[in-house]
């Protein structure tokens, strides 16, 4: 079974709309990270939210974390075509959270 899983599998919106990707995880964590991966590129970190934080913002992005339900969400407001990518949540544990466990990702397509 997956240690981190995003849902839904895919989303399709028009520019300007808001969208939310959810993540559930199965292990204790020290931090959860949201990454975006565009076609032909490696993952790029969007937000890192630590286990003692409930919300973190980065521009149009907002991440929440609920350690009691082991879930997180990433919301993007005022989406743009360039937000089209696969979005991953990745969990880490302990002193070496460079070791990340990724889910399958949510494919987001933003149409003009």
Partner 1 sequence: GPKVLQIPSHQIIDMGQMVTLNCDPVSNHLYFYWYKQILGQQMEFLVNFYNGKVMEKSKLFKDQFSVERPDGSYFTLKIQPTALEDSAVYFCASSFSGGSTEVFFGKGTRLTVV
* Residues at the interface with partner 1 (CB under 8 A): 2, 30-31, 33, 40-45, 48, 50, 88, 92, 95-105
Our CB check for partner 1 shows the closer of 79 and 97 to be 97
Please report how close the Cβ of residue 75 comes to partner 1 at its closest, in angstroms: 20
Cβ-contact 94, 30 below 8 angstroms: yes
Helix (H) or strand (E) holding 9: none
As to burial, measured by CB atoms within 10 angstroms (0-12 exposed, 13-18 middle, 19+ buried), residue 66 is exposed
Our CB check for partner 1 shows the closer of 44 and 81 to be 44
Our CB check for partner 1 shows the closer of 14 and 38 to be 38
User: What is the chain's percent helix, strand, coil content, to nearest 5?
Assistant: 5, 55, 40
Please report how close the Cβ of residue 84 comes to partner 1 at its closest, in angstroms: 17
Distance CA 42, CA 52 (A): 28
Our CB check for partner 1 shows the closer of 14 and 50 to be 50
Question: Tokens for 12?
Answer: 């399709």
Please report how close the Cβ of residue 30 comes to partner 1 at its closest, in angstroms: 6
């Amino acid at each position: 079974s997956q240690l981190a899983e995003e849902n839904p599998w895919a989303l399709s919106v028009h520019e300007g709309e808001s969208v939310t990707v959810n993540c559930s995880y199965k292990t204790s964590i020290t931090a959860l990270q949201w990454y975006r991966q565009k076609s032909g590129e490696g993952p790029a970190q969007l937000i890192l939210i630590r286990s003692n934080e409930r919300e973190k913002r980065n521009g149009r992005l907002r991440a929440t974390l609920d350690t009691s339900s082991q879930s997180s969400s990433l919301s993007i407001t005022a989406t743009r075509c360039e937000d089209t990518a696969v979005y991953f949540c990745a969990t880490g544990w302990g002193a070496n959270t460079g070791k990340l466990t990724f889910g399958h990702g949510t494919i987001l397509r933003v149409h003009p």
